Chains A and B, each alone.
Chain A
Amino acid sequence: MRLLRLIVAALAVTALARSGFHAQELSTLPNRPDSLKFAAIGDNGTGDQPEYDVANQMERWHRRFPFDMVIMLGDNLYGSQRAADFVQKFERPYMPLLAAGVKFYASLGNHDKTSNDTYQPFNMGGERYYTYTRGNVRFLVLDSNYLDPRQLAWLESALRDAREAWKIAYFHHPIYSDGGRHGSEIELRVKLEPLFVKFGVNVVYSGHDHIYERLKPQKGIYYFVSGAAGELRKGALKRSINTAAGFDQDRSFMLNEIAGDDLFFQAISRTGETVDAGVIHRESQP
């Protein structure tokens, strides 16, 4: 009986492969009409071919999974940052998405000029840290380059005032990471984590390490590192007991969908393979 099952499964896989169906390209996202859908990219702004490849892949997925915003996890532009660079390193690669009305919300990385907060397509409103709301989700965008007391006070106030069910923070430097080049920014963690825990932040996205990593929940908070949408440090993921999943063999980006108390996520490589997927269930506050 067991042998029969194996034979049937093998025949089914062979048939699917012959039909041109790629199992990895399957979306694990429910793609509900009333959900919040967004992509996440980090360390993307090289202006080189891999950034364009990732952008093209995002555009392909956008046709099936119409996300209406992209959160940018910093290092949005590398190298020179003149007007022509904004075209080559941002506007051209993401032109189809921009044309489709997708909005980008940037955070600043260590390679970004602070003055980039006034670049309109980044939607930062001239602020290096800011907050915005989409449905029942509060996004908090931080400048991890300069986490000065004023920004911390602002964050505490913004979190205290947030009434949304979901609280998502994103910024460039990861406070948890197993990236071999940078790793966890512990000094930032000591400042930020108590606020995140106190005010019930659910998910945190960062970049800086040029890999994809999903960490096991830390004090009830889910952390993602997604810093390979342009740059890549191949083989840099040094898995630890905190690593839930990771990918460091090619560029990648993330798709996310929030529906009710669930956040579905899917990490996708430059070639369109799904390298990680899952769902985070939010425990409703009493």
Chain B
Amino acid sequence: MTRAWTLALEYYLLLPLGGVIALIWANTAGDGYFRVAQALAFAVNDIGLAFGLAYVAQEVIEATLPGGAFHPWRRAILPVIAGAGGTIGAVAVYITYIHTADELVLRQGWPIACGADIFLCLALGRIVFRRGVAISFLMLVAIVGDVVGLAAISRHRLAATVHPGAGGLIIAAIAISIALRQSRVIRSTWPYLSLAGPLAWLGCYWAGVHPALSLLPIVPFFSRSARSLDEFAPSRGAHGAAGHFESTFAYPVQGVAFFFGLVNAGVLLHGFDTGTWAVLAASLAGRPLGILAAVLLAVTSGVAPPRDIGWRDLIVIAFAASPGVAFSLFLASAVFPDGPLLVETRVGAIATIAGAPLALAAARLLRVGRFVDRRATQPVQTPLMDGRA
């Protein structure tokens, strides 16, 4: 039981658990489910998720510290390019699809195509590669898409008016965080969250920026230690210190993940329509193709490829980065109000889980990671660029 619980926490399985409950509930007692989901939506998506995204941001910042997965910054260039290519590919396919299907009302849903489920990516990365630079590469590819999606929804927010004092509140939150950081006395995360957090949240809310993004401006001032992204989030070693955000919020964030799945993943399975296929095509075709094309372009233009990643790895990474599930669900709920467009894009977001078996099948077919044929006498890997891998 303890082992199952540890596994559930390590792989963020409470998120899919909440999602499965929501799916069953919505399709058996829809009226009741949607009443509950709509009542909880604000607390989960606009407040709880702020902690979830802060959690992710903390990981990324720590990965850029000396000793982290992306230090020095040059190591991050190719994955960032790959992530950008994947995002462009996904958005291009999404837009093309809805134009072809003649449903332009879905046009403003393009940020949904950017979403990559970093928790599912991590699980896939661990299953295929176990550990190492390929997982960090995969994680950054996914994070780039999510950053673009988050930036986009801050424009798409359905807020009525922008309060004049909003910017001032966000600046005040940052100023408080700087002061706390410089005091060097406070090691705990709580003063940041209790003093600067509400100001930042209110500032974002009044500015029409999605409040789930509100803690991002103050995360860079939290206590931190370098980390490799292949062991995303567990609060071990220095990360387990009491003052570390990931230590304090390790369990609450799991709760947020569960409720996020519960509130957002409940869709009527007959609700598929053009938006479903657009999101699915964008994630499963647009993103992998965009990633591969961008890397090909970058490597042939002289960007140094990582030593331990070949084309076969990259193909698997491209597919492993394709599921948008949780992040696409969140982006969909930020872009569309409750209604048919939200339903059909949410169905598409959930269906992108198909990228997971595709990635595993690709890994098996191409003999990548744990599927490497140990009996082979010749290396089966093709370097990204001859003579440089």
A interface with B by C-beta (< 8 Å) = 78-80, 108, 110-114, 144-150, 173, 182-183, 185-191
Contact = CB atoms under 8 A, between A and B. Distances in A.
B102 A111 contact: yes
B34 A145 contact: no
Contacts of A146: 105, 336-337, 339, 341
11 contacts: A79-B102, A111-B102, A114-B105, A147-B338, A150-B158, A185-B340, A185-B343, A186-B30, A187-B34, A187-B338, A188-B338
A114 B104 CA distance: 9
B342 A110 contact: no
Interface residues of B, number: 24
Contacts of A186: 30-31, 34, 268
Interface in B82-131: 102-106
B318 to A, nearest CB: 32
Nearest to B105: A145
Contacts of B34: 186-187, 190
Contacts, number: 70
Nearest to B30: A186
B102 A183 contact: no
Nearest to B36: A190
Interface of B: 30-31, 34-35, 38, 102-106, 158, 160, 268, 270, 273-274, 336-343
A138 B340 CA distance: 26
A208 to B, nearest CB: 8
A150 B158 CA distance: 9
Given A149-B337, A173-B339, A187-B339, A110 B31 contact: no
Contacts of A183: 268, 270
A182 B339 CA distance: 13
B337 A148 contact: yes
Given A110-B105, A183-B270, A186-B31, A149 B158 contact: yes
Contact of B31 (A145, A147, A149, A190): A190
A47 to B, nearest CB: 12
Given A148-B158, A186-B30, A186-B34, A112 B105 contact: yes
A78 B270 CA distance: 23
Q: Which of B160, B268, B337, B341 has the most CB of A within 10 A?
A: B337
A107 B230 CA distance: 51
A101 B235 CA distance: 73
A188 B340 CA distance: 8
A108 B34 CA distance: 24
